Structure 1
Amino acid sequence: MTVLEDIITGVREDLHERRLRVGDTAIRARAQAAAPARDAYTALGGHHDSSQRDQRLRVISEVKRRSPSKGALADIPEPAELARQYRDGGASAISVLTEQRRFGGSLADFDAVRAAVDTPLLRKDFTVDPYQIHEARAHGADLVLLIVAALEDHELSAFLDLTHDLGMNALVETHTSGEVERALRVGARIIGVNVRNLKTLDVDRGNFARLVGDIPDSAVIVAESGIRTSEDVALYGSHGADAVLVGEALVKDHDPISALRSFIDAGSAAKPPRGR
């Protein structure tokens, strides 16, 4: 069993327990009653006219306690306070891990962050069931994560449609050229390129440069994983990333506001002119 398969097994078991507490009908009703989702596509630099998009690199800052590859990262006693620091540092969106077994996250963390900031929020989990999409909206999420490697084509298409029907956007995560093609085929507007192999957890930053050319300029392109320094952000920016998703480097930094600002400055300075 790969790491991804093992994580998804646990996700399904935990989802079953939540479903027993709040059934499908109830979670759909809560999703429909939630306040409208924020426009994460625009917040991350998206525009219907790609020529009107600016050169600023955006950062999705992550509230992340643990990871399968590194173990414990940070205690984070007050996720709301960390989120406020991310907001003050200029984060365009904030990602909150809600997967518990491998990442130590929870919907309680998400709720605390949602109550603290008005920044668009990504519910970061392994989406394998429509219930989770309704659940994300019910808790005030503006973005959900759809991992192409974890979904069949019909699931990817249906989940993306449901996400849009609920007024949210999806970060559609890819790792290979074939996955990029699948993401584009279903109409993904925000495409992540994760340079971490979810089967082995190895990081290959060069994978971003290899895949970014397959993604049209109309999409928002997010670089994921392998970010430790401003130089790493600048590298992704130079290859055309519109945004980067950063967790470990920020949760371990004692001054996340300054670190975040330096990432934004470095990535923006390195970005090439529009029209990749």
Structure 2
Amino acid sequence: MTVLDDIIAGVREDLQARRLPQNAIEAAAREAVPARDAWLALGGGESDPALRVIAEIKRSSPSKGQLAGIGDPAALAEQYAAGGASVISVLTERRRFGGSLDDLDAVRARVDVPLLRKEFTVDEYQIWEARAHGADLILLIAAALDDAQLADFSALAHELGMNVLLETHTRDEIDRAAAVGARIIGVNVRNLKTLDVDRSVFGALAESIPDGAIAVAESGVRDLDDVSHYASQGAQALLVGEALVRTQDPQALLRDFRRVGTQAMTARRS
């Protein structure tokens, strides 16, 4: 069993333990405040180069173990918002990442920035659940889903007013993302089967992302050099967790990431 397989098995078990009747979760989703437009927040439709950051609230990870205590995720979200995060990602997977839907609720109550529910989505129920708890954007991982699931899950998310960050690792997965009309395509340079990171993967795959889709670099952002690297290779947005939760001043680091990334984007276009 790969790491991804193991995580998904745990996600399915935890989902069964908290699952509400379908009519109840659908009612909660439809009664929630309308979703914010994460595509626009990430620069969709804009021509001027400006790096966007999806700032992640992340306590731990399978590869690094404990990263940060984060006793008050809403307070951290406020710092992210003040630093100019375009989207805030809230991990809700419990076993490997130490997250919960309570974290999502707390952050939603405190900030107006669009929220990504960062979860291993393997069941339509999780999409209704994400909307019911105030998410504006969900994650779909191509490696974990077949083509029919990618299409059906994307359609349901859009029906509920949310956007989808469709995560890929290979050129074939980018083609599958394009086939379902994905408008926000992430390239995760971390192999979810081995947890190895190869930053060169993004540049090798970015040119395959369709025109008009937002290209998001995921994983491997340690410092300003990594930000500049990804932006120079075509990233329009970065998903950053570890570097932000480990720093003493996430607000300042976010500003630095945005500044350096925008400079690299501008240089690439000139």
Shared fold, TM over 0.5:
yes
| Alignment correspondent of 2:9 | 9
Q: Secondary structure at the match of 2:182?
A: coil
**Which residue of the other structure, out of 81, 84, 91, is the alignment partner of 1:87?**
81
RMSD: 1.2
Q: How does 1:10-29 map to 2 (within 5 A)?
A: 10-19=10-19, 22-29=20-27
SS, match of residue 237 in structure 1: helix
Is 2:73–2:107's contact at 8 Å kept on the other side of the alignment? Answer: yes
Distance (Å, rounded) in 1 between the aligned partners of 2:232 and 2:193? 27
Q: What's the offset of the Cα at 1:165?
A: 0.3
Aligned to 1:31: 29
Residue identity in the other structure for 1:13: E
Query: For residues 53 and 163 of structure 1, what CA distance do their matches in structure 2 show?
Result: 26
SS at match of 2:248: coil
TM alignment of 1:26-65, pairs within 5 A: 26-47=24-45, 52-65=46-59
Q: TM-score, normalised by structure 2?
A: 0.98
Correspondence 1:101-112 to 2 at 5 A = 101-112=95-106
1:139-173 per-position Cα deviation (integer Å, ceiling 9, x unaligned)? 00000000000001000100000000000000000
Q: Percent of aligned pairs with the same residue?
A: 64
Paired residue for 1:210? 204
Deviation per residue, 1:45-101 (Å, 9 max, x gap):
001xxxx42200000000000000000000001101000000000000000000000
Matches within 5 A, 1:250-265: 250-265=244-259
SS in 2 for 1:146: strand
The unaligned stretches of length 5 or more in structure 1 are none
Contact 1:240 1:272 survives alignment (8 Å) = no
1:155 is aligned, of 139, 149, 152, to 149
* 1:55–1:274 Cα contact (<8 Å) kept: no
The DSSP-based 3-state class of the residue aligned with 1:103 is coil
Counterparts of 1:227 and 1:73, CA distance in 2 = 15
Q: SS in structure 1 opposite 2:4?
A: helix
* Runs (4+) off by over 3 Å: 272-276
TM-score of the superposition, structure 1-length normalised? Answer: 0.96
1:186 equivalent among 180, 187, 199: 180
8 A Cα contact 2:232 2:268, kept in partner: no
Give the Cα–Cα distance (whole angstroms) in 2 for the partners of residues 25 and 207 of structure 1.
Answer: 42
Contact 1:230 1:266 in 2 (8 A): yes
For residue 15 of structure 1, what is the amino acid of its counterpart? Answer: L
Structure 2 residues without counterparts, runs of 5 or longer: none
* SS across alignment from 1:126: coil
Counterpart residue type for residue 119 of structure 1: V
Q: Do the aligned residues in 1 keep the contact of 2:83 with 2:255 (CA within 8 Å)?
A: yes
Checking the alignment, whether the CA contact within 8 Å between 1:212 and 1:239 is kept in structure 2 is yes
Question: AA paired with 1:155?
Answer: Q
Distance 2:268 2:151 in 1: 29
Could you tell me whether the CA contact under 8 Å between 1:37 and 1:140 is conserved in 2? yes
What is the SS of the residue equivalent to 1:35? coil
User: 1:217, CA displacement in angstroms?
Assistant: 2.4
In 1, Cα distance between the equivalents of 2:79 and 2:226? 21
**Alignment-mate amino acid for residue 4 of structure 1:** L
